[in-house]
Structure 1
Amino acid sequence: MFKNSTFAKRRSSLDNISKQRKKYPDIVKAVIDISDVVLEILDARFIEETRNKDIEEYIKKKGKKILYVINKIDLADAEKVMGLIKSENLYPYALISCKERIGSNILRDKIKIEASRVKNRYNRKQVGIIGYPNTGKSSVINRLVGKPAAKISSEAGFTKNMQKIRLSKDVLLLDAPGVIPLKEDANIHGRDLIKQARIGIKDYNKVREPEMIAFELMKKYPGVFEKYYNIEANGDYDLLIEQLGRKRNFLKKGGVVNEDKTARSILKDWQENKIKVE
């Protein structure tokens, strides 16, 4: 089912995609250049996958402090998160859950502390905020300021320009577009498409090859999907799709299961955090 990939057929659209995407890293770098401190928003479930190490290197090269903000902590194993923070030396850090309203006050205090340590000629400190799409960057900003100040979307580049948001009289937040590293091109590399769909960057309605992604998810997390859907498939993807499609009445003419629709429904459940990985 998955051997005859169609990725190679999409090269004709690569130039246009690249032009649209290349401008966003430039804006992110401009935000970093004028920031005193930079927050990198990470998804607690996918810390390594949502780190932009190229941007981190650029921040360090500019001599700026990074504060790692680990969001969606309510959806992750806290012990594993703390282990990763230690092993990867992600200090200073802050744990937060916008949904559960956890950690926003502590984060606000840490921002002020880190900003106060920076000496500049201006009274107001500027704090840049970067992150992959769908890590909750805009939600973090809205929790910090206590009102809807940043627009929310999981799509890369939804915030197209720098947004300036006042945190306090002494601290100004600079919201940068959510950026996927240029080397990750989901239109060419299947592995990147799978990663981006898994962490929610590519919406279940818009991904290509939903069956391949659902197949890879099932392979990566054995037993999890069978348990959630209460289907005994014993690791057999085709059997899971067949039974789930009939269970949800996702049928085409002739009573054949609509595999695309069924796979997208699995991705929808995954991206909406209904399926938990223990």
Structure 2
Amino acid sequence: MFKVLNRVITLLALVAVMAVLPLESVSAEEIEFDPFEKSIREISDALDSNQITSEKLVKYYLERIKAFDKQGPTINSFTNINEEAIEIAKQLDAERQSKGPRGVLHGIPIVVKDNFDVKGMPTTASSVALKEAFPEKDAFTIQKLKDAGAIIIGKTNMSEFAASYGRLGYSSLGGLTLNPYNLKRDASGSSSGTAAAITANFGVFGLGTDTSGSVRGPSHVTGLVGIRPTLGLISRDGVVPSSLNFDTPGPIAKSVEDVAIALSFMAGVDENDEQTL
């Protein structure tokens, strides 16, 4: 009974917050398809039927990030935004028109915890000590998602170095990530920024890592679905380590179906991670 009541109260709180965050205030242009709270398949179908383009999708999410992440509610879920995201979206739109989609993730904007290597962006683990640490190549999992057509829209704040001590979701680089459902609370940790960003509709789904609850905790407190896969299902190559015996990447999304879709693209054998062999 109390769980149901809490869920109702939480949903009403979200409605109240979103009432002051209208779509019109963050839409740069008129769009026929509203991406708000939509699933991977719904957005993919809209892209396939030309109701929206990946370029418009990316701009939609960037407008929301600009309006709500560093001002207004100041959710503070991102450490870095991908400056090439719009251009990548344009290229994927052109490819869709000329060759057709690569699959269900073609042109889908996603967010990535800032302990994954993404070429062209610093991998900081949300520490100022690593703010200039640019990797030479993508993490194995990032490359798989890019090959599927996903667009990295930005890298998300995390408990610094994925540590479980101190304030969850706080880092020297990104500050404290807030819970979009209740701005007086944090979003747990350590994958706080990813969970907050997906809850706030800053991307379609996101990547986290889990050593001892770092995907599951943030997903729980933000009303999302997160999964800690069996160790070895997803490569850790190109991910800042915390514990080689327990670390594993995992997806965070709005539904079980979205998490399952994301997981299917993330999983794979990688010769650089012996746990996957």
* TM-score normalised over the length of structure 2: 0.29
Task: Point out the structure with max Rg over C-alpha.
Answer: 1
* TM-score normalised over the length of structure 1: 0.29
